[in-house]
Amino acid sequence: MMFGYLWLSRVLDITFLAFLEGAIALQIMDLHVPDTIRNGSGAVILDCEYSLSVNESKHALEVGLVVKWYLNDHPTPIYQWIPGQKPQELGVMKNRLDLKYKASEQPASKFRAIRIMQPTTELSGEYKCMVSTFENEDFMMKKMLVYAPEKKLELQHEKSNYGITVHCTAYDVYPQPVLGIFKIENSELKEALPSMSLETVRWHGAFDVSAKASLIEIHGDTLIECELSLPETNYSSKQRIIYHESGESQLLSNGVKSAITESRHYIGLFMAAVFVTT
């Protein structure tokens, strides 16, 4: 009787362990993809953490384990790794990945991640990691924005019979920026100039954006600000002009001040340096 009980207990233990080995099947636990990264910055790592059953982990070759990365729902992967084979870079990632990068020393997850050497704006989009075996499959997606600050931000003005027309132009920026022209009084009150017009041109994957607004009345020193910001990032850039009623204008460039007199204008111009925050 006792022998039968021990035999049954042993069988149940073995069955339970076998159940555990198969029950904890393939599952992606986390996808590490940065929300934003600056164009041309250093290498960035996109990692796909997954767990496997005991059997899948021990026999990765036999169970058909494959890791694939996709970009923007394109049917062809940009990266593929099969344990026992060399990782492959495909499509837009051709010659852009560090194929020697190892995310882990474990044979079943060694080359699960991709290391992009020089991220550029065309690599923005939604990344999908898909991990599969013969019997299981899982995937996870996350977006990454590669942004490019403007190469130049100009703030100009011209006098007319109706006051001052202000022009602000940003060149070669990505993604499409938000551009605004504001009047600031008493160093506190920030007011958007009325009737601002906006023109946007896209070329070679970047944007040129120009804003124009009019300032009809000027009372004392008036600060005009052009502000550029990039959606989904913390990046912003500003150019500022201070108009005086003195008949003189003062130019400040890179912290160096110089005085210029323009007798033709009844309004002075003060140009501040560009303030950039990231």
Q: Tell me, what's the pLDDT at 243?
A: 74
Q: Tell me, what's the pLDDT at 24?
A: 63
* Structure-block tokens of residue 38: 């600056």
DSSP class of 188: T
Q: Tell me, what's the pLDDT at 199?
A: 95
**DSSP result, 63-91:** TT-EEEEEETT-SS-SEEE-TTS--EE-G
Our measurement of the distance from residue 54's CA atom to the centroid of its chain's CA atoms, rounded to an integer in Å, reads 37
* Structure-block tokens of residue 177: 């920026």
Q: Bridge partners of 207?
A: 173, 202
List of residues 6+ apart from 250 with CB closer than 8 A: 242, 244, 257, 258, 259, 260, 268, 269, 270
* Structure-block tokens of residue 149: 């600050």
The Cα angle at residue 100 between residues 94 and 105, in degrees rounded to 5 = 135
Spatial CA neighbour of 35 closest among 139, 167, 170, 127: 127
CA distance 86 to 100: 9
Its pTM surpasses 0.85: no
Q: Tell me, what's the pLDDT at 269?
A: 36
> Tokens 């601002």 appear where?
196
List of residues 6+ apart from 259 with CB closer than 8 A: 248, 250, 251
User: Is the link from the previous residue into 107 a cis peptide, with omega within 30 of 0?
Assistant: no
Helices (H) and strands (E) in the chain, counts: 2, 21
CB 144 within 8 A of CB 46: yes
CA distance 29 to 22: 17
> Can you list the domains of the chain with their CATH numbers?
27-147 (2.60.40.10), 152-259 (2.60.40.10)
Q: Is 239 exposed, middle or buried (0-12, 13-18, 19+ CB in 10 A)?
A: buried
Provide block-wise average pLDDT over 10 residues at a time, the chain (278 residues).
Answer: 46 40 77 96 96 85 92 96 96 97 95 97 98 95 98 87 86 97 79 88 94 80 89 94 58 31 32 40
* Structure-block tokens of residue 260: 């210029």
